[in-house]
Structure 1
Amino acid sequence: MRAPLIITLASAALISACTTNPYTGEQQTSKAAVYGASAAAVCALVGAIDSGKHARNAALGCGIVGAGVGAYMDVQEAKLREQLQGTGVSVVREGDNIRLVMPGNITFQTDSYNLRSDFYPVLNSVGEVLAKYGDTTIRVSGHTDNTGSRQYNQTLSERRAGSVADYLVTREVLRSRLLVQGQSFDQPIADNGTAAGRAQNRRVELYVLPNAV
Structure 2
Amino acid sequence: MLRARTSLLLASAAMLAVAGCTEQMGGLNDPNNPRRNTQQGALIGAGLGAIAGAALGNDAEERRANAAAGALIGGGAGALVGNELDKQAAELRNSVGNSQIDVRNTGDRLIVTLPQNILFATDSAQVSSSIQGDLRAVAGNLSQYPNQTIQVIGHTDNTGDASYNYDLSQRRAQSVSGILVANGVSSGRIQAIGRGEDQPVASNLTPEGRQQNRRVEIVILPNA
TM-score category, normalised to shorter length: 0.7 to 0.9
What residue number does 1:63 align with?
72
Superposed CA offset, 1:11-42 (max 9, x none): 7x947x948xxxx6856563334445556777
CA RMSD, aligned part only?
3.8
User: Is residue 119 of structure 2 the alignment partner of residue 119 of structure 1?
Assistant: no
Task: Call closer, same or farther: CA 1:205–1:70 in 2, change over 3 Å.
Answer: farther
Shift in Å, 1:60: 5.8
Aligned partner letter, 2:117: N
- Bigger strand fraction: 1
What residue number does 1:162 align with?
174
How far apart, CA to CA, are the structure 2 residues paired with 1:126 and 1:139? 13
Aligned partner letter, 1:112: S
Aligned partner letter, 1:63: L
In structure 1, the residue corresponding to 2:199 is in which secondary structure?
coil
What residue number does 1:132 align with?
144
Can you give the 5+ residue segments of structure 1 that lack an aligned partner in the other structure?
1-6
- Aligned counterpart for 2:197 among listed residues 172, 185, 202: 185
In structure 2, the residue corresponding to 1:196 is in which secondary structure?
helix
Shift in Å, 1:70: 4.3
What residue number does 1:74 align with?
83
Aligned-pair identity (%) = 37
Task: Call closer, same or farther: CA 1:170–1:69 in 2, change over 3 Å.
Answer: farther
What residue number does 2:7 align with?
none
Task: Call closer, same or farther: CA 1:100–1:26 in 2, change over 3 Å.
Answer: closer
How far apart, CA to CA, are the structure 2 residues paired with 1:60 and 1:129? 34
- Aligned counterpart for 1:84 among listed residues 93, 97, 113: 93
Shift in Å, 1:65: 4.1
Aligned partner letter, 2:198: D
Aligned partner letter, 2:88: K
In structure 1, the residue corresponding to 2:202 is in which secondary structure?
coil
Contact 1:40 1:63 (C-alpha < 8 Å) held by counterparts: yes
Task: Call closer, same or farther: CA 1:103–1:180 in 2, change over 3 Å.
Answer: same
Task: Call closer, same or farther: CA 1:117–1:31 in 2, change over 3 Å.
Answer: same
Superposed CA offset, 1:181-204 (max 9, x none): 111112211222222111111101
TM-score (norm. length: structure 2): 0.70
Contact 1:157 1:184 (C-alpha < 8 Å) held by counterparts: yes
In structure 2, the residue corresponding to 1:30 is in which secondary structure?
helix
Shift in Å, 1:166: 0.6
Task: Call closer, same or farther: CA 1:14–1:166 in 2, change over 3 Å.
Answer: same
Can you give the 5+ residue segments of structure 2 that lack an aligned partner in the other structure?
1-13, 27-31
Question: In the comparison of the two structures, how many residue pairs are matched?
Answer: 203
- Aligned counterpart for 2:185 among listed residues 173, 179, 203: 173
What residue number does 1:30 align with?
39
Contact 1:142 1:181 (C-alpha < 8 Å) held by counterparts: yes
TM-score (norm. length: structure 1): 0.73
